Each structure stands twice: as C-alpha cells, then as structure tokens.
Amino acid sequence: MSRIVVVSNRVAPIAEGKASSGGLAVAVLAALRKSGGIWFGWSGNVTESPSAQPTISESGKLTSATVDLTQRDYEEYYNGFANSTLWPLFHYRLDLTEFSRRTYAGYHRVNSLFASRLAPMLREDDMVWVHDYHLIPFGEQLRQMGHRQRMGFYLHTPWPVPEILVALPNHETLVRSLCAYDVVGFQTERDRAAFISYLLQEAGAEIREDGLVSAYGRTIRVQAFPISIETPDIEKLAAAVAASRQAERLRDSLKDRDLIIGVDRLDYSKGLPQRFQAFNDLLEHYPDNRGGVIFMQVAPPTRTEVPEYTDIRRELETLAGHINGLFAEFDWVPIRYLNRSFARRTLLGFYRSARIGLVTPLRDGMNLVAKEYVAAQDPEDPGVLVLSRFAGAAPELSGGALIVNPYDVEGVAESLQRGLTMPLDERRERHQAMMSVLRECDIGHWRERFVDALSSAPYSG
C-alpha cells in the first residue's frame, strides 16, 4: 500500500489520543494511520527567518512536518491572495475580491517554497493529497521539480461558475495548475459542473468516454466527493453530553423557551446579517414568539487581520443590539450573540437542546455544522434543520431540511415559524430521512472514495 502524504495549510496534532478538533482532521488521520504517511503544512507560526528544515514529529507510522512563514509570506500568501482574493471569489463575492500582483506572487512563492521543503521527504510510490484553495499550485510545483507521484487535490470551498472565475486576472494559470493533479475533487456536483464548464469553454477540454477529462495536455479525473462527519461518533457523543453540566445550564437558562441555534465562524460567507434580519422578521410578523423563543448565535472571529472580517463583526454587533433593544423584555432577551468558540462536545450538547438549527450561508462548500446538528438530535424528539440552498450540504439533506433562500429574509422567517410549530411525527420523519444519508455517507466514506480514486490514477506524472 502506498504511503499517503497530506498537504494542507494547517496541520492537526498527530499524537495518538490527542483530541482532534474536527471531522477533517479525524478523516485525514485515519487515512494516514492506515497507510502510514506524512502530514505537511504551515506550523501556524510567523518567524523572522524560518528554518529550511521542516519541524518533524512522529507518532507510529505517521509523521507531521511543518514549516514557519515570514511576516511577508503570511501577509501575501495567507491574508493576501488566499483570503482576500480566492476566498471571496470562490464565494461569489466579487465586490470583496481584491487582486494584486504582489500577493499573487507571494502565493506562488510560498507554494513553491512549501513544495521544495516537502520534496526531499517524498518517495517514488507515495500518493500526495493536497487540500484547499491555499495550495492550488502546490502539485504543479512538485511536477516542475520532476515528481511523478500520483497527486490529488480536494477543494473545501465552492468552485464558482466561469463568469465569476474569469474576473480573476490569472484564472487560466490557476486552472492549469489544477490540471497538474491526477484527481481534482469538489464538494458537490454543482462545483464539479462549474469547473468542467470552464474547461470546456476556456480550455478546449475534451471529456473522454471513460469520463476522464483531457485539458492542458493532461488527463485528469474530476469528481464530486461531498465531505461529511463521523456520524456514529457524533450520535453517541451528543446522547452522552445531553446530561452534561453545560447542556443542563443552557436548558435551565431557556426556561422552556424554544432555542434556535446558529454556529459559524464569523465570516461574511455565512449570511449572518440576513439571518439576524430573518429572526427580526420572525418576531415582527409572528408575535406569538415574543418572549417564547431565543436565538443563540455562536460566531468566533477568524482572519481578524483581513479588514472585511472586522466590518462584518461591527455590522453584527449593531444588528444584535438593535434587535435586542427593539424586542427585549425585562425577563427575556431575544438574541444571545457569542463571539467565542466552544469545545466540540459542548456544541453537540447545545445542538441537541435546540429546536431549530439555522444554517443559512450565502455560499458554502459543504457546511458541516448542518450535518453535525442533525446527527446530534434526539431521534425521539428531533429538532428541525433550516438550511440554505447555497450550502453544499443542501442536495444531500433536502429530503429532511427546510430549504431556504437566505436572501429571502421573510421566507426564512416563514420557515422558522414552520419549524417551531412542526408536529413531532413530521420532525421524526424528516430527521430519519437525513440520518439515513448521513449514516451511509459519513466521513470514512468520503475519505475512502477519494483515496480509491487517487489509487486508481495512472502512475504517470
């Protein structure tokens, strides 16, 4: 069995028994433990003169190798091209997309530097699995150094339709880099179709009879692999933490009121202002809910050095203050807005206590919170998922969720009302429909499908 070499912007702790924070880390570690391998990426540290040697730590058959960035690399590669150009562009926010040749050059410089740091560690029959928008040119850089290993790329964000993508001055170079991989994986069929459309329209690509795509002189597999969660583990853990002290404290504080919960990174792609407005609309147009419903939004700040993230934070503070000021009573405050994160197990307890999971991104690659919310419910008395049609999770969960358009604030309020008044039988039915998808398509299934696709790629380079 070939070793797997995972490359991602950040690397999770690999030591056995160390709690990993999320499904991706769990899946990647499981893949690596099975075959042995390396997890390579940025250490998260910014230093003046980073060492040319990666920092290595080992645990069984598994090695983690990390490198530091300089301040300039961090600004140009991470805050710059990755998070101020590609992130907004891939989330259809042309209005927020900045482009500069300086950050673009920094992005390439860091990708090339990372590739040259990993290169000496690679073996002939390794399979390289690169993750996410930070590292699109990584595989091409390795190829240029003569590496012929099987290489796969997985994009966690959406891939935009060609009309959006071509706004990027270097769109062709970016897509050409992707074609250096043997397998290019997306979250959904929608993303895959958008990528294929670009290749057909802009690159004269050809789709072969076996489904592979020929473009830029290479033949690649382009496939959707919707990412998922550790379904059985989440079910068990959520049932266990239902009686935890924190979950109990939350329930006590609700005093039998219904809870609507939102959990996101504080990011403009998550549709938080529209969500707050929808809750405002619920209180305005369905006044029976006043005093009887609480909306709790957990949103820890991220990417705080990118100005757009400061702007959205300020906007939400104003909105939350406004809505609370308008509707609060001396014994009831409608919105609990928390700018902090909680341990995974605590969140699962919160999900289980919530009548509605409100997940309304304007665009999202997948949105694992939606899946986690569903898996955390009590099957005997489950809550309702209100889910944006623009989340990658929507096609899989449409059999059970109330699907909404997040821009339609009144429509979201209507669905909230429907969820709050939904009879138990219907809630159970909807929950079961979603659970049967999540049981079959869990994170293990995602990992196996990707690794299988990569294993069967021809070893050609």
Select the residue interacting with ligand ADQ from 13, 22, 301, 395 (CB under 6 A): 22
CB of 227 to ligand ADQ, least distance (A): 4
- The smaller minimum CB distance to ligand ADQ, of residues 23 and 137, is found at 23
Which residues lie closer than 8 Å to 245 by C-beta, 6 or more apart? none
Select the residue interacting with ligand ADQ from 169, 300, 321, 399 (CB under 6 A): 300
425 as an active site residue: the answer is no
Got the DSSP string for 59-124? ETTEEEEEEEE-HHHIIIIIIIIIIIIIHHHHTT-GGG----HHHHHHHHHHHHHHHHHHGGG--T
C-alpha torsion angle, residues 163, 168, 174, 175 (rounded to 10): 10
- The smaller minimum CB distance to ligand ADQ, of residues 332 and 342, is found at 342
Question: Measured between alpha carbons, how far is 50 from 295 in angstroms, rounded to an integer?
Answer: 45
CB of 308 to ligand ADQ, least distance (A): 15
- Going edge to edge, which strands form the sheet with 258-263? 335-338, 293-298, 258-263, 356-359, 384-388, 402-404
131 as an active site residue: the answer is no
- When computed from its CA atoms, the radius of gyration of the chain, rounded to whole angstroms, is 23
CB 295 within 8 A of CB 336: yes
Stretch that binds ligand ADQ, among 17-25, 214-222, 250-258, 435-443 (CB under 6 A): 17-25
- The smaller minimum CB distance to ligand ADQ, of residues 264 and 414, is found at 264
From 126, 258, 364, 442, active-site residue: 364
Q: Contacts with ligand ADQ in 26-85 (CB under 6 A)?
A: none
Six-digit token string for 277: 């407005």
- Applying CB under 6 A, does 264 fall inside the site for ligand ADQ? yes
Question: Measured between alpha carbons, how far is 184 from 216 in angstroms, rounded to an integer?
Answer: 14
CA distances from 290 to 262, 410, 413, 449 (A): 19, 17, 13, 47
CB of 375 to ligand ADQ, least distance (A): 11
Site string for ligand ADQ, 149-178 (x = CB under 6 A): -------xx---------------------
CB 185 within 8 A of CB 225: yes
Site string for ligand ADQ, 213-252 (x = CB under 6 A): --------------x-------------------------
- The smaller minimum CB distance to ligand ADQ, of residues 157 and 274, is found at 157
Give residues in contact with ligand ADQ (CB under 6 A): 22-24, 156-157, 227, 263-265, 298-300, 341-342, 347, 364-369, 372, 392
- Hey, which residues are catalytic here? 156, 364
